[in-house]
Amino acid sequence: MSESALSQEELDALLAGSDIGGGDESAGGSEEARKALEDFLTGSTAALSSTLSQLTTPDASLKGPTVSFTNRDTFLGELSITVAVVKADFNSGFPGEHIFVMAEDTAKSVVGLMTHEEDVELDEHNLSVVSEMVSNLVGIQITTLTKQTGNQSIASIVPEATRVPKALVAFPSGDFLSAEYQLDLGDGKIRQFWEIYGSSVSEAIAYALSNGAKAPSVPPRPAPREAVSSGAQASGGGRPAMGMMSGSGSTNVQAVQFPSLTPHITAQEQGNISLIMDVFMEMTVELGRTRKLIKEILGMGEGTVIELDKLAGEPVDILVNHKLIAKGEVVVIDENFGVRVTEIVSPQERVRDMT
C-alpha cells in the first residue's frame, strides 16, 4: 500500500461522515464556544428551575445542563420514537436556529401539572401549554443574555410546539450544540429534555459572552451606490438611472433589504411576563349578541325568547377582559356548563382587536 493511500480506519471515518484527525473540537464545534455556552446555561439554570416550579409543582427542579456538539444521526439515538419539539429561533441579536426537544411522555407530564389534568394528550391546546412553558424559559435566557452581552436587540419568534416522530424533527444542518437538562417533576423520576442551538448561533453567542458585545456574525453590506453617467436620466421621471457607472465601470447590483414583517417578542417583554403570571383576569364565554330597542327591552318578561346572532352549533367566543382570545364549544361537566377550546385566535387578530 502506498503512503498516500487511506487506511481502513480513515475509510470507515469517511463513510460514516465523521471528521478525520479529531483535534480539540467536539463534533466540529469549538471547545471555546461549548464552554462559554455551558457556563451561561449553567448560570441560568437556577432561574429556569424556579420558573418551572411555579408553572408545574413546587417540588419540580432542573439540573444541568451537559453541553456538547453533536449531529443529527448521533442525537436521534437519544430520543424516544415520538417527541415534542418547540421552535424558538432567534430572529434578532443572534439570528438562527434554536429549538427545545423532549419526549412525548415528558411533555404530557409537564402539561398535566400545568393544567391540573390527568391522562392528557398532546392535542393543539396542550401543545400551546408546552409552548407557553418554553416561552417563559426563553424569556429568562434572553434577559440574562442581554445583561451579559450588552446586546439590546436579542429577540426570538413566538415559541411553537409540535408533536412529531423523531425522524421528522428539523434539526440544524451539520453539527449543532446540544444542552441536556435533567428534569425532576417532584416524583423522583429524572426526565431529559434538550435545548439545541445551530452552530452559527452558538458561536455568535459564545463570542459575545467572551467579549461583552454583539458578535459580528454577518459582515455589514456596503450601501448601494447610485452612480449616473454624465447627463444620463431615467426616462419620463427625471430621476437618475440606478446602478449605472460612467466610463467602463462595472454595474453594481445590491439586493434590497426589507425589514421582517413577522411579529416577535422583545427581550424586555419576555423577561417581564413571569412577573404577572399570578395576576387574576376575568374570563367570559359569549353565546352571542343582539341589539334591541329600549321599548323591546322594557317589554321583556318571563318566557321571552331572545334571538342571538350565532347559529346553532357555531363556536362560542372566549374573552379575557372583554378581548377575544379563543373560540370553543359548550360542554356539560357533572351538571355544570363548561367550554372546550377549539381554536386559539392568532396573535395578529388579538392585536388587531385591541386597536
Q: What is the pLDDT of residue 261?
A: 54
**Is residue 235 very low, low, confident or very high in pLDDT (cuts 50, 70, 90)?**
very low
**Is residue 296 very low, low, confident or very high in pLDDT (cuts 50, 70, 90)?**
confident
Q: What is d(CA 271, CA 152) in angstroms, rounded to the nearest whole number?
A: 13
Q: Mean pLDDT in the chain?
A: 78
Non-local CB neighbours of 342 within 8 Å, separated by 6+ positions: 315, 327, 328, 329
Q: What is the pLDDT of residue 226?
A: 40
More confident: 175 or 277: 175
Residue 96's beta-bridge partner residues? 90
Spell out the domains of the chain, with CATH numbers in brackets: 11-211 (3.40.1550.10), 280-354 (2.30.330.10)
More confident: 23 or 352: 352
Q: What is d(CA 19, CA 292) in angstroms, rounded to the nearest whole number?
A: 76
**Is residue 46 very low, low, confident or very high in pLDDT (cuts 50, 70, 90)?**
very high
Q: Taking residues 163-181, report their average pLDDT.
A: 92
Which segment of 102-106, 140-144, 186-190, 244-248 scores lowest on mean pLDDT? 244-248
Q: Where are the alpha helices (DSSP H) in the chain?
A: 8-15, 31-55, 72-76, 104-115, 124-149, 199-211, 267-272, 294-298, 347-354
Q: Select the highest-mean-pLDDT range: 202-211, 261-270, 308-317.
A: 202-211
Does residue 90 surpass a pLDDT of 90? Answer: yes
pLDDT digits (tens, 9 = 90+) for 192-224: 999 999 989 999 999 999 875 444 444 444 444
pTM of the model: 0.55
